[in-house]
Amino acid sequence: MTKLRALAGLLIAGLIIYSGLWYTSAFQAEKDAAAQLSALRDQGLRVDHGKIKLSGFPYRIVLTIDGLQIRTRGPGLDVGAENVTLVSHLWTPMHWVADAQAVQFAAAGDALRFTDGHVRGSYRLHGNGTAVIAIDTVTTDDFSLDRAFGIDDPSGLSRWQLFFRVPEEAPVANGGLYEDRFLDFKLVLTAAAGEFDAEGGIMGPKISDWTASELAAWRDGGGLLELDKFTLTAGDGALTGNGSLTLDEAFRPLGSASLQLSGAEAVEAALQRIGIPVAGALNRGGDAPASLMMQLGSLTLNGAAITPMKPVIEN
């Protein structure tokens, strides 16, 4: 009987200790979430939300944020959700899983705009201070891509995944021609026409809004978008390559890419179906290495003009 009482006492003590740890961690997580949203405001963003609700005891720590909307002062970013649920556990404080409902997203001066009924994501902070964020659409029947960087009526996109790797602290300016990356990414798009994936990063000063002054500061500070590798597969065709991109004085894309093409007709048909007007340019290049150039407001392939390129913002 004495042993039974001792065991029962240990169980009760364990439950009390666990409950104390859970509530301490959960309330701290709630405070941290509010502090993070407040920190975004301090950075110049417009942040609106409803109640932050705590639940999940005893197995999970669940934070629900109602009516979350985050916007830049200018037309750089506007993202909102009917509600966002964040889930973690007492034993995984550096890993959170997110679920957002009724998402609306616009970015880069409305150059990219979509809605999605259900978006999920995860956030993991590693020991070296690097945060890894993964975001993807859950189903294909409630996603609508309204605009995508010059394609006014994109169609056929059925799934997307986006991965970010962000250092905890911004890189220190090194005074060289190009600065260190402040963001690494991987993008995967799946459509009826084919699949596209790209890996790369962005270097230079951080862009806090989509304005002429911000973009000019990024460009003049050594800003560069690097695509370490990208691949478009369509049927028996494939287009692979790498490249880099910045902006010219008129805020038009400026850069180049090296391409390796096979099955040109299948790739061109896929691009045409997506809404990119290549108009036979890939077939002129043949199944061989090719050079893509963006300069003086024109996109050329092996020296042949494909399409004019507009400024990414009105100056």
42-85, pLDDT tens digit by residue? 888 899 999 999 999 888 999 999 999 999 888 888 999 999 99
Please check whether residue 310 is in contact with residue 252, taking contact to mean a CB–CB distance below 8 angstroms.
Answer: yes
Does a cis peptide bond (omega within 30 degrees of 0) precede residue 277? no
Per-residue exposure over 177-193, b if at least 16 CB sit within 10 Å of its own CB, e if not? eebebbebbbeebbbeb
Cα(52)–Cα(178) distance, integer angstroms = 41
DSSP state of 263: S
Cα(279)–Cα(264) distance, integer angstroms = 12
- Banded model confidence at residue 177, pLDDT cuts 50, 70, 90: very low
Cα(270)–Cα(287) distance, integer angstroms = 16
- Banded model confidence at residue 171, pLDDT cuts 50, 70, 90: very low
pLDDT confidence of residue 175: 42
- Banded model confidence at residue 314, pLDDT cuts 50, 70, 90: confident
Flag whether 51 is in a domain: no
E strand segments, the chain: 46-48, 52-55, 61-71, 77-88, 95-107, 112-125, 130-137, 143-148, 157-167, 181-191, 194-203, 224-234, 237-247, 253-262, 289-295, 298-301, 304-308
Which residues does 6 contact at the CB level (< 8 Å), separation at least 6?
Answer: none
Residue-wise pLDDT tens digits, 75-131: 888 999 999 999 999 888 889 999 999 999 998 888 888 889 999 999 888 766 678
pLDDT confidence of residue 279: 56
pLDDT confidence of residue 278: 65
The pTM assigned to this predicted structure is: 0.81
Residue-wise pLDDT tens digits, 255-311: 999 988 888 888 888 877 776 766 566 665 556 678 889 999 898 888 888 778 889
E strand segments, 235-288: 237-247, 253-262
Beta bridge partners of 241: 230, 259
Res 170 pLDDT > 60: no
Res 172 pLDDT > 60: no
Flag whether 299 is in a domain: yes
Question: Could you tell me the residue range of the domain that residue 183 belongs to?
Answer: 87-308
Which residues does 88 contact at the CB level (< 8 Å), separation at least 6?
Answer: 29, 60, 61, 95, 96, 97
Flag whether 281 is in a domain: yes
Cα(238)–Cα(260) distance, integer angstroms = 8
Question: Which residue, 127, 136, 103, is CA-closest to 117?
Answer: 103
Higher pLDDT pick, 3 / 207? 207
Please check whether residue 312 is in contact with residue 247, taking contact to mean a CB–CB distance below 8 angstroms.
Answer: yes
Mean pLDDT of the chain: 84
DSSP state of 26: H
pLDDT confidence of residue 176: 40
Q: How many structural domains comprise the chain?
A: 1
Residue-wise pLDDT tens digits, 183-216: 899 999 888 778 889 999 999 988 888 889 999 9
Percent of the chain with pLDDT over 70: 85
- Residue 223 tokens read as 């800003």
Cα(192)–Cα(233) distance, integer angstroms = 11
- Measured CA distances, 253 to 38, 55, 149, 220 (Å): 35, 47, 12, 14
State phi, psi for 87 to the nearest 5 degrees.
-130, 130
Cα(188)–Cα(199) distance, integer angstroms = 9
Flag whether 40 is in a domain: no
